[in-house]
Amino acid sequence: MHPIASWMVTVDLHDEVELLRLEEPALSMYAVGWHEDAIRTPDIDWPMSRDLAARAHQALERHVGRPLPIRMRIEKRIPLGSGLGGGSSDAAAVLRGTNTLFDLGLDANELAEVGSSIGSDVPFLVHGGSAVVEGLGERIEPLASTPSIDAVVVLPDLHCSTAEVYGWFDDLAEDGDGAALRSEAIRTMANDPLTPDAPFNDLHQPALRAAPKLAEHLEALSALAERPAHVTGSGCGIFVLCDEAIHAEALAEAAKERLGLPAIHVRSCEVRAPLS
């Protein structure tokens, strides 16, 4: 957990979370694997005790004071340590889905409060859309609409530990309080027409400290795109804002063919219904 000040937008790159309600007194079962069309498939080597989706389910059980037995299967497309909130979005999906499966009747704000104990991104991802997020992720200021964004996300074979990146940030921060307190600049960016050079990220340099080879990929992608490439969250993903969908599709193909980097076109979106 770390103080943040961020503009967050949900995009259509997503993991798939399948939940099945079990009859008591069954024990919950959790499984995580890679989706067949994932563009990067590093080892899934973390224990279920650390998995954010499993922890979210257990936090919800504690919140309501009773077992909520489920079988959970996650097929991931978003790599761990890519700065894209994959684990946090899975946690948010489990909160919303379990709430529906068991007819708990909790509203989004209450689910977000439960999610706040899991990670700073989870409360926003319970809501989705577009918002300025501050504090430890609990202060969410929804924006009137989600902007139409087409971007290319590149997922190099690197890993940035969130804890390590924030550690470097705290070491490098000039104000000494370890918080990215640029709220007005963030609000301006979120409300003005979005240009390719507008995004800024106070975790850019800390991410380069954690994964030095990331600088090489940033330079190569910027040169290819002829516009700035940016670090996603706490890294190690990279993104470029594009003019339209066809531009993003072409740039993603070029990144794969000419740079040998896994790349995908993503679009901004709202959060879908909790269950299909």
Q: Is the dihedral of CA 226, 82, 42, 57 positive or negative?
A: negative
pLDDT per residue as tens digits for the range 215-268: 999 999 999 999 999 999 998 999 999 999 999 999 999 999 999 999 999 999
* Dihedral angle of Cα 133, 92, 193, 218, to the nearest 10 degrees: 90
Pair (18, 117) in one structural domain: yes
Cβ 3 vs Cβ 136: under 8 Å: yes
Residue where one domain finishes, among candidates 112, 142, 172: 142
**CATH (domain of 52):** 3.30.230.10
H helix runs in the chain, sequence order: 52-64, 86-101, 108-115, 122-127, 162-172, 183-191, 204-210, 214-225, 245-259
Beta strand pairing call for 70-76 and 29-34: parallel
Pair (221, 115) in one structural domain: no
**CATH (domain of 159):** 3.30.70.890
- As a whole number of angstroms, the distance between CA 88 and CA 201 comes to 19
pLDDT per residue as tens digits for the range 162-205: 889 989 888 887 654 434 457 888 988 888 889 999 999 999 99
Pair (35, 117) in one structural domain: yes
Q: 242 is in which domain, residue-wise?
A: 150-267
Pair (107, 22) in one structural domain: yes
pLDDT per residue as tens digits for the range 34-85: 999 999 888 888 788 889 999 999 999 999 999 999 999 999 999 888 999 9
Residue where one domain finishes, among candidates 122, 142, 162: 142
Answer yes or no: is 272 within a domain: no
Answer yes or no: is 89 within a domain: yes
Pair (178, 71) in one structural domain: no
Pair (81, 122) in one structural domain: yes
Pair (131, 10) in one structural domain: yes
Question: Quick one: which of 123, 128, 115, 124 has its CA closest to 56?
Answer: 115
- Give whole-number Cα distances, 12 to 129, 144, 205, 242, 267, in Å: 11, 19, 27, 15, 6
| Spatial CB neighbours of 133, under 8 Å, sequence gap ≥ 6 | 4, 5, 6, 7, 8, 120, 121, 123, 124, 139, 140, 141
Cα-based angle 180, 182, 183 (whole degrees, multiple of 5)? 115
Residue where one domain finishes, among candidates 89, 122, 142: 142
Answer yes or no: is 169 within a domain: yes
- Indicate the pLDDT class of residue 276, thresholds 50, 70 and 90: very low
Report the SS3 class of residue 64: helix
- Give whole-number Cα distances, 83 to 25, 249, 270, in Å: 37, 21, 19
Pair (127, 108) in one structural domain: yes
pLDDT per residue as tens digits for the range 91-144: 999 999 999 999 999 999 999 999 999 999 999 999 999 999 999 999 999 998
Cα-based angle 195, 229, 78 (whole degrees, multiple of 5)? 105
Regarding pTM above 0.85, the answer is: yes
* Dihedral angle of Cα 255, 260, 265, 266, to the nearest 10 degrees: -120
Q: How many CB atoms lie within 10 A of CB 45?
A: 6
Answer yes or no: is 76 within a domain: yes
Answer yes or no: is 275 within a domain: no
Question: Any idea which residue has 């995580």 for tokens?
Answer: 32
pLDDT at 272: 65
Answer yes or no: is 95 within a domain: yes
- Indicate the pLDDT class of residue 274, thresholds 50, 70 and 90: low
Pair (114, 217) in one structural domain: no
- As a whole number of angstroms, the distance between CA 238 and CA 120 comes to 21
Pair (242, 180) in one structural domain: yes
Pair (213, 113) in one structural domain: no
Answer yes or no: is 185 within a domain: yes
In sequence order, the β-bridge partners of residue 135 are: 4
Pair (158, 240) in one structural domain: yes
* pLDDT tops 60 at residue 275: no
Number of domains observed in the structure of the chain: 2
* pLDDT tops 90 at residue 31: yes
